[in-house]
Each structure stands twice: as C-alpha cells, then as structure tokens.
Structure 1
Amino acid sequence: MNNFKNKFYMGLIFFIFFIIVIRLFHLQIIKGEVYNKLSEQNRVRIIKIPAPRGIIYDRNGIPLVENIPSFSVSLSPEYTQNIDIKILSEILNIPEEEIANKIKKKPESIYIPIRIKENLTFKEVAMLEARKSEIPGLIIEIEIKRHYVYKEATAHLIGYLGKITEEHIKNNPSFRELPSYFKVGQAGLEYIYDDKLRGIPGEKVVEVDALGRELRLIKEIPPRKGEDLYLTIDAFLQESAYETLKNYDGTFIAIKPDSGEILALVSTPSFDSNLFVEGIDPKYWTALINNPKKPLLNKAIQGLYPPGSTFKVITALAGLEEGLITPEQILTTCHGGLSFGKWTFGCWRKDGHGAVNLRRALAESCDVYFYELGRILGINRISKYAKTLGLGSPTGFSSDEKNGLVPDEEWKKKVLKTNWFLGDTFNTSIGQGFLKVTPLQMALVMATIVNGGIKYKPTIIRNMQPEFEKLNLNQNNLDIIKDALIAVVNEPSGTAAQARSNLIKFGGKTGTVQVVSKKVKEKFSYKHFEHHAWFIGFAPLDTPEIAFSVIIEHGGSGGAVAAPVAKNILEGYILKKRQLNVEN
C-alpha cells in the first residue's frame, strides 16, 4: 500500500513538474518575444518625432509658409488607467468628457501617445510641469507648427494641413505607423508636394519609471527635415491682388508670358489656412462648405464662365489667320444690332458704332462686327482657333482644374440632340452661349498672343524646364491684335479707358457676361442677376512681363469694374516694390 502511495506521489510530482516545464516553454520560447516586448514597454517609451516640413518660398526668397515652435501635451497609453482626468481638465480648460473620449480611442500601438491638446500656452505648460508627478505618463513636447504668413492671400494656392484620416491611410498604408496627430497636406501645394515637404519622422527611445516619468534617453534618431519649395509666385503681386480683390467675389491670375510661370493666383472669398493647423472648428468648417460664394473653390482653375467679349480676341485672330479680313477693312456698319429672321442680336451700344474696322471693333468691343465675322468664319473655324489657343481642355497646371467647353456642330448634335444654328455662331463669336472657360485658360490666351504665339504649360515651381508648343500663327497678325488691345485701355474711345494708369502702361480686353436675360435683369435688382465682369491683359506694353486675367462675379461691366481692379492690382504691386527699394 505504501509502495503504491509513493508511486502515486512521485507520479503527481513528475506530472506537476512536467506542467511547469511546458508552461515555462510556452512562456519563454513560444511567447517569449511577446512578453519581452511587454516587459520593455513597462520601462521603455518610444516617441515618434514629426519632421519639420519644408519651407515654401516665393520667387524672390520670401517665405510664404514657415515653421514656428509650439507646445503639446500627450499621455502614454499604458498609464491612462491611473490618470486623474479632473486635474488635466482644470489645467487645460477642456471638459473631462472630451479627455475621456480621447483616452478611449487608444492608438493601435502602445508606442503612440494619446494627444490631448496642442498649442499650449506658457501658463498651461508651467502648471503641467508643476503637477507632473500627479499625472503618470504625461508627455510635454515642443513641436514645430505650420504658419501661413499671408493667410487668406495664399490659401487656394498653398492649401493647408490636417490630421491623417482613414482615406489617407487607404491611399498610403505607411501612414498607419504615424500618430494620428501628425499633419499632412490636405489641399493645394501642401497636398500635391506632401511627400517632399513632409520629411522623415524621427523617434526617441526613453526609459521611464512605474509612473511613466522619463528617467533617461536611451536612443534618439533625429527627424529629417522636408525639402523646401521655391515657387514662381511673386509675394508682392500676390498680396496686392488679394488686397484689391478681398471685397469682391472673383479671381486674379498672372503669368510670365515668356516662360509660363505663375506669378500670382488669388481667389475670393478666401479663408485663413492657419485655422486648419490647430484643427478647424466644426462650426467654421460647416459655414465654409455651406457658403453659397464657395470660398473653398479655387476659381482660377475650377471656376467656369462664359468669356464674354474677351473671346473676341480669338474670333479676330481666326479671321486674320484665315485671310478673311484685313485690319483696315470696314466689315460692317453697326446700327446697334443685327436682325436675323424674327430675332435681333443687339450690340452693347444701342445707338451703334457706325462703320468699324478690326482695330476699332476690338477697342470699342463692337458686337455687330463680330456677329458678321462669325457668320463669315463659321463655328468650326472659330472652334478650331479656340482649341488651338488652349480652351476646352486642361492646361496641365493641376489635376483638379476644369476643362471648360468649346462648342461646335458635332458637340451640339451629340449632347443636345439638335442642329447648330447661325444664332449659336453669333453668340459664340462674342463669347456667350455654350462657351465655358477658366480664368487660367484666358490668362494663357493673353500670354500666347503677346509672346509671339508660344503656348506654355503653366508651372508654379521655380527653375523648372518650361514645356511649350510653338503655334503656327502669323506674327504680323499677333501684332495687329496686340495693337488693338493697347487701344482698349490707352485711347479715349477704348472700353477700358477709365482704367488708364500713370504708374504702368498696360493693354487688354474687357468682357461683360450676361447672367440672365435683359428683361429679367430689368425687372429684378438682385445682386446675382448682375453681369460678370472680365478683363484680360498684359503689361508693360513694349516687352510684356505679365499676362493676366481677372473676373469679378456679378460685378457689372468689364470696363467699369474688372479693368480698374486690374489697374489697382498692378499699381499696388509697383508701389509695394518701390517701398521695398526705399526701405532697403
């Protein structure tokens, strides 16, 4: 009996020993790596360090975007169970519920701290440091915050930053390894060149005690700063354009005619990009997206408008290139309108322009002249030259720019299931009807006219090799058009005569786009029934350095509104440069 008991106890001991060995094998061999990591996490904290983003400069080295220091506070996830939320709430002036919700949304990795608040005041930092022993796992960091120097003036051009979203992670899985509070480009150049600007994050390995307090730095891999961007933008022209346009709904875009470099791009109303850096207030965001004036829309490349009388430049060039008119030829006599069947196509000057040639027709914007020229050309030839000059297709500047529309007989039959009529040609020849263009496209048309027929692909990055196409256009015909555009501003009868400047001589073409019928406009006085006002131009006269377009939505007359706006932008630009030279 005793022998049996001894064997039983011996067997039990061996069985228990066997279980212990198996358990040790499981813990140390099979699960060894897992528990080793957990052990390390109890004494080591790995903190990701955002890389300073690259600075964005204008063509003269003036920073448009810069980085400034900022404090933030986070909590290490493994210590959140022991946090007294009330202390943080009192110091940071954040509701306890909001802090609790942030803690509940723990990151996937224990190495990623939970961001509680950014842009701390010095008082908040001091109070947190004083009570650090009461808040296990507290992390206070000095960060680099993005600052947009020109605020609303560059918002549509440069864009803004925002936190990483699921959409970002879907498009770029490597983002999953970054803390959710890291900022990435959301719009504009910040988005397009995010990979270059963002740089490479670093990390800091820190030994901590049981309360999460830092004891010593074990290892640090410094972040690598993002690349700087040097733009073709002129900060003074950009600022002058915004200051002039800020009380209008519209856009201004300027191009260097001999390279296609964008010198300025402003769209109004605008928004302050800095409001996105700290996380935009939901109410402000809702107001932005619901605003009928569409402040988030970049009207320079996404706004679609009939070009109005600015299109007469293309109709005139088509007539010259096809050899159907000469500059001196009196093509028609304007009596204030043209009758066609039961319809009357009026001229903006009700008492008429009388006998007009090409130069006077452009300078005084005679509609009847261009009705007749359109009849002679036909829609297909008008369409051909419009497309040759870049209308109806994107310029290649941005992936989100609009195509616009250049209609012809085939388009109308395919899309509207009806025939093209001569009345459609009349409307197209003066820039009305089905035509749709972007302000960027019209600025490029002007650049191509004054640079000798070279169509450049617009660029925003400095020192890039320009891409261009030399169009088969007669230089003499281009000179004829340019001379007439000079008369638009600089002769008393020109439609933009009131915009003449003593500081800078410039030329161009006005345009007034009818939004509703004359009967409706006369019956109602709503602001949104007013015409759109266009002006496309160039300066200075002899050797143009700027080609530009400006449109004022519901502004009225191109000659009375858009051309003076262009004048004010150019004069403001010159005065800013003069002031800088005096100060230097």
Structure 2
Amino acid sequence: MRDRRDTLKNPQQELRIFRMRSLLAVVLVVTLTGLLMGRLVYLQVVQHEVYSTRSEKNRVRVEPLPPTRGLIHDRNGVLLAENRPTYNLTLIRERVVDLDATLALLVELLEISDEEREAFHVRSRQRQRPFQPALLMSDLDETQIARLAVNRHRLPGVEVEAQLLRYYPDAEIMAHALGYVGRINAEELQRLDTGRYAGTHFIGKTGVERFYEDVLHGQAGLRKVETNARGRVLRELGRTDPVPGQDLTLTLDKELQTLAYELLDGRRGSIVAIAPKTGEILAMVSAPGFDSNQFVTGIDVASYRALQNDIDLPLFNRAIRGQYPPGSTIKPFLAMAGLVEGVITPDRAINDPGYYQLPNDSRRYRNWLRWGHGRVDMERSIAVSNNTYYYSLAHELGIDRVHSSMSAFGFGQRVAHDVFGESAALMPSREWKRGRFGQPWYPGETLSVGIGQGYWQVTPLQLATATAVLANRGEWVKPRLASRIGDEPVEGTLPDTQRDIVVEHDGWWDRVFSGMEKVLSGHEGTARRTGAGLEYRMAGKSGTAQVFSLGQDQRYNADELAERLRDHALFMAFAPLEDPQIAVSVIVENAGGGSTHAAHLARAMTDRWLLDDEAPDVEELREAMDNDTGSVAGN
C-alpha cells in the first residue's frame, strides 16, 4: 500500500515548476527591460531632434515684426501720409479658453455698438496662420486701455499692442488722390504672401496707397523670444529686423491741390492740372471729398451709410471715374483732326445762318446763337464756339475718322501710368454702337459728337491729358503721380506711352492756339471776361455739357430747371502759350456755362502756378462769376 504522502506532495515536481516559473519571470523581466531601454534609446537618441524642437517650442516663440509703412510727400516735401503711434487690440485664438465668452466680455468692456458687434466677431476669426494675432480694434482710447488692463486676468490671449497707424493730415482734400489703407479682409488674406505680411493688419485699398502697395509696405521681420508656462515673454533670443517700406514722393503740389479744392467751394466737380512737358500731375481734385482717416481704423456702419446715401456722392472719384460729355472743349482737337485729314484749311470759312442741315434732311441742328455768326473760319469758330462749323466738319470727317483722331489724343482710353481705378470713359464708334445696341450708326449722331455731345464721354483726367498733348504740339508724355520712390526718380519715359501726333505743317498748331487764345482775349471770345488782366498768354476753350436733351425748337432756360438738371460747366486751358507749364481741366456739375464758372477756376489755377499768387478769395470769385454775363448756353 502506497504512502499517502507520496500522492499529496512531490518535491521534485514542485522544484521543476518553480524553476520554470522563475525562468519565465526572468525572461519576461529581461524582455520588458530590453523594450524599455530600447524605447528610451529611441526617444533620447533617434528622436532627439524631434522632441528637442517640441520642447523648445513650449518655451520659445517666434513673433512677427510688422514693417513701418513708407511715408508719402508732395513734390516739395510736405507730408501727405504719415504714421502715428496708436494702440490696437489683438487676439490669439489658440490662447483663448472660451472664444465666445471672451468676445462677449470685450464687447461689454469696450461698449461696442450692436451694429459693430458682428464685424467684431468676424475680425476675431481672421488670421494668417496659427498663433498669429487677429486685429480686433484699432486706435484704442485711454479709457478702453484702462478697462482692459484692469480685466487682464479675465482675458487670456487678448493683448494691447502699440503700433504705428496711418494718418492723413489733409484727408478730405487728398482723399481721392492718395486713397487710404484699411484692415486686411478675408479675401485679401487668401492672395497675400503670409511671410511678407506677417503681423501686418493694414493694406492699401484705393488710390496711390493701393497702386504702390508693394513699395510702401516693406518686409516683415521676426523675433525669437523665451516665454514661461503662462506665455509671458522672459527674454529675446534673436531677431530679424523688418525692412521698412520706401517713402514715396508725388508730383502733386499740396498748395495747388488745396487751392483747387477751395475753388470748387463745396460744389460737385473736379479740377486736374498737369505739367505738359513732364506729365507730372500737379493737382487732381474731386469734390466733395471725405475724411479718409475714418477708413483706416474701420469706419462705423452709420458713418459709412451716411457717405453712401449722400446725394453728392463724396466717395465717387469724379477726377478719374466721372464721365461727362466734353461739350465744346473738344473743338480745338476736332479742328486739328480736320487739318490733318485734309478736310479743312485754316482759312476755309463757312456761312452760318444759325443752324446746319444734313443733305435730304429737314431737321435743323442749331448753333447756340440762334441767328448765327455769319462768316466763320477755323480760328473764329474756336473763339466764338460756333456749333455750325463743327457740325459741318464732323459730317465731312465721318465718325470713323473722328474716332481715330480723338483716340490719338487719349479719349476713350486709360491715359495715366499710376492712377488706380481710372475709367476709360467712352469714345463712340460704329463698332461700339453695333455691339452695345445692335444698331447702325446714323449721320445725325456724328453731328452730336462733333460738338462734344451724344454718346461721347470723357473724364476730367482725360481732358487734362488731351490738353497737355495739345500744348506739347502732339508730343505724348504719359501722366503720372509718383516722381521718386525712395531716393530713385521714377523713369521719365513710361511704358505704353501713345504715339506722338505728327502733322504736316507745324503752323497748324499755331492757328489752333490762336483761336484758343482769342477765347480769352478776343473781343468775341466766350471767356473774354475771364481773360481780362492776364499777365501771360493763355489758350483755353469753354464747354457746356447738356444733362438732358432739348427738342428741336426748345430753348434752354436754367432758371426754370431744378439745379441738378442744369448743364455742366467745363473749361480746359494751358499757359503760357509760347512755353506751356501747366494744362488744366475744370468740370463743375450743374453750374451752367463753362465760360462763367469753370473758366474763372482755371484762371485762378494758372495764376497760382505761374505767378505764385495767393489763393483768391472764394467769395470774390463767386461774385465775379455771378456778375459775368459773357457766357451763353451751348459754348
């Protein structure tokens, strides 16, 4: 019989089991230790650079340094656009715990209106890349800064930054020429170079600021800083300084620009002055203007609506986008076209009975002087602004030659080099009408074009440019606004400048100029009262552009019309005649005859430029225009 202890306990078997388990435990421990050591080696050696960089990023931050925007000066060094210190409110979304709650607190602290609240939320979501601050508000006042400082602990990720902000000392006068900068919007963010615009919140929106954005902006810099666990900067580790934008010197003369704005005296209109020999734009005014500084920090909704709804359209740049019938101001250009095409000679005369009739047409196209001017040659046709002469000339030329000849002077085209947003206006042709209306061109429409009416539309800048080409005896010099970028002058010969107008006899220019001089100095000249007392020889031409058409037997009476239905007053001129230094175009909306209103303004501009006269008294000038009875409708 076996011992029960043998069946209950087997020391040898237990020893084997113990040894096996111990071996397995050792193998497991060694394996796990090996895996742990391998992982440590992998992390510390193989992945050293990766985790070192991540660790560094936790305490080192790269911050953009926005460049200083270049300044803008006039031709005499007078500052037109500067940068002034200001405080901006920015937000870094990645550092904000609850964005909606933070924005709600900011709205409460800053007392933002309900209308601005939505824009405020949109700005909070605009950024260029992660950890880049979004600009919420510019130009904070002292009260707002104090409130933010007291509540700083409640606003993680919100900072008040000192920054230079664009400022225009003569905002209303220069608004249309300079343009303005404004906040970068979401659409612009998509196309901008994020590296170059890192930390930048503003970009040129219109005018010179827009056209020369690449020059004025500069290149953003960077600085590397060490921060603590709360993100507070401890020290600066390195820096790449930003490259400031280049300063820009314009051809504009601030004093002449200011005079032009004051001469318009709140009336709707435009004055443009150009130096014919160089193409330098000396003044380019559109009135009324507006305060462009409002747009830099973001104009409030109520103010913007007020500008939009203003019946005088202060936001509309009449100098480059306003399109007006040129009226009789085009008669010297048409006379040159007639000479070049061999349709007329300087001495050829017609007899004016007060109207013109097309062959086999009973309709009478009337001269502004209903009983006619009698015998009229080319020079007298310009001096007295005879319509019948130009009805006849336009009919003989035909619309095709009228179109090509006037295009040579720049009508119907964008004429300037660096004027952002310029309109080409309209120089009509057969092709244009067929494409626009699907209709043929009629002879009567050519007659309307012959006196600057009908479909023909020009901008004040176009008219001034054409006058400069005329003053240069056909030599084209493309108009421009910039004279120097930094210390480098802008190239004199600009690309895409039109071909010069070459004539067979140089004396033709003299004959046309003689007619234009008689406008101001001749006993029959339509602007003879304006030319009284001139100290230099001046060539000019008045014009009156119809706002609506009259019937064949209707007569124009301004006193019976609402103010905005009255004719526009135009005048173009250059002086001195023998060596032109300035060419001017003036358009005053709904002012009546060009020889009474616009001519006086052109004279004041040339006086200031050539004689360095002080600005005329606006009240005296208005009285002179009111007393001037030398003007008649249609000239």
Task: Show the counterpart of 1:433.
Answer: 454
Task: Show the counterpart of 2:592.
Answer: 556
Query: What are the within-5 Å matches in structure 2 for residues 125-524 of structure 1?
Result: 125=145, 136=156, 139-174=159-194, 178-179=198-199, 182-245=201-264, 247-289=266-308, 293-335=312-354, 338=357, 341-397=361-417, 398=419, 400-409=421-430, 411-413=432-434, 415-462=436-483, 463=489, 464-467=491-494, 469-473=499-503, 474-500=505-531, 502=533, 505=536, 506-518=538-550
- State the 1:448 CA deviation: 1.6
Whether contact under 8 Å (2:516, 2:541) holds in the other structure is: yes
Whether contact under 8 Å (1:137, 1:213) holds in the other structure is: no
CA distance in 2, matches of 1:99, 1:339: 62
Which amino acid in 2 is paired with 1:545? Answer: Q
- State the 1:394 CA deviation: 2.4
Point out where structure 2 has 5 or more consecutive residues left out of the alignment: 1-16, 484-488, 616-635
Which amino acid in 2 is paired with 1:553? Answer: E
Cα offsets for 1:391-422 (capped at 9, x unmatched): 23322524643333333445545654444333
Whether contact under 8 Å (2:543, 2:594) holds in the other structure is: yes
Whether contact under 8 Å (1:530, 1:554) holds in the other structure is: yes
CA distance in 2, matches of 1:98, 1:371: 59
Point out where structure 1 has 5 or more consecutive residues left out of the alignment: 580-584
CA distance in 2, matches of 1:126, 1:71: 12
Task: Show the counterpart of 1:57.
Answer: 73
Whether contact under 8 Å (1:336, 1:353) holds in the other structure is: no
Which amino acid in 1 is paired with 2:400? Answer: N
CA distance in 2, matches of 1:172, 1:499: 52
- State the 1:574 CA deviation: 7.3
Query: What are the within-5 Å matches in structure 2 for residues 17-36 of structure 1?
Result: 36=52
CA 1:91–1:360: 2 relative to 1, 3 Å: same
Whether contact under 8 Å (2:206, 2:420) holds in the other structure is: no
Q: Compute the RMSD of aligned alpha carbons.
A: 3.6
- State the 1:465 CA deviation: 1.5
Which SS does the other structure have where 2:244 is aligned? coil
CA distance in 2, matches of 1:150, 1:246: 16
- State the 1:257 CA deviation: 0.8
CA 1:176–1:455: 2 relative to 1, 3 Å: closer
Query: What are the within-5 Å matches in structure 2 for residues 80-95 of structure 1?
Result: 80-81=96-97, 85=102, 92-94=110-112
Which SS does the other structure have where 1:479 is aligned? helix
Whether contact under 8 Å (1:137, 1:211) holds in the other structure is: no
Which amino acid in 2 is paired with 1:47? Answer: E
Which amino acid in 2 is paired with 1:54? Answer: G
Which SS does the other structure have where 1:558 is aligned? coil
CA distance in 2, matches of 1:199, 1:6: 74
Q: Which has the higher mean CA deviation after the structures are superposed, 534-543 or 494-503?
A: 494-503
Whether contact under 8 Å (1:102, 1:114) holds in the other structure is: no
CA distance in 2, matches of 1:102, 1:42: 29
- State the 1:14 CA deviation: 5.7
- State the 1:227 CA deviation: 0.7
CA 1:552–1:37: 2 relative to 1, 3 Å: farther
Which amino acid in 2 is paired with 1:555? Answer: A
Which SS does the other structure have where 1:220 is aligned? strand
Question: Identity of counterpart residues, as a percentage?
Answer: 34
Which SS does the other structure have where 2:548 is aligned? coil
CA 1:331–1:151: 2 relative to 1, 3 Å: same
Whether contact under 8 Å (1:531, 1:553) holds in the other structure is: yes
Which amino acid in 1 is paired with 2:243? Answer: R
CA 1:22–1:385: 2 relative to 1, 3 Å: same
> How many pairs were matched up?
578
Whether contact under 8 Å (1:332, 1:372) holds in the other structure is: no
Which amino acid in 2 is paired with 1:244? Answer: L
Which amino acid in 1 is paired with 2:531? Answer: R
Bigger Cα Rg = 2
Whether contact under 8 Å (1:45, 1:111) holds in the other structure is: no
Which SS does the other structure have where 1:59 is aligned? coil
CA distance in 2, matches of 1:81, 1:57: 46
CA 1:479–1:150: 2 relative to 1, 3 Å: same
Which SS does the other structure have where 1:441 is aligned? helix
CA 1:114–1:455: 2 relative to 1, 3 Å: closer
CA distance in 2, matches of 1:133, 1:230: 46
Which amino acid in 1 is paired with 2:230? Answer: L
Whether contact under 8 Å (1:306, 1:437) holds in the other structure is: yes
Residue 47 (structure 1) aligned to one of 27, 48, 63: 63
- State the 1:77 CA deviation: 4.5
Cα offsets for 1:69-111 (capped at 9, x unmatched): 1122434555422999587667644589889947963746454
Task: Show the counterpart of 2:621.
Answer: none
Which amino acid in 2 is paired with 1:72? Answer: N
CA distance in 1, matches of 2:427, 2:223: 58
TM-score (norm 2): 0.80
Which SS does the other structure have where 1:489 is aligned? helix
Cα offsets for 1:476-497 (capped at 9, x unmatched): 1111111211221233432223
Which amino acid in 2 is paired with 1:257? Answer: P
- State the 1:226 CA deviation: 0.7
Task: Show the counterpart of 2:85.
Answer: 69
- State the 1:55 CA deviation: 0.9
CA 1:19–1:315: 2 relative to 1, 3 Å: same
CA distance in 2, matches of 1:33, 1:292: 66
Whether contact under 8 Å (2:128, 2:198) holds in the other structure is: no
CA 1:323–1:205: 2 relative to 1, 3 Å: same
CA distance in 1, matches of 2:82, 2:182: 16
Residue 567 (structure 1) aligned to one of 603, 620, 628: 603
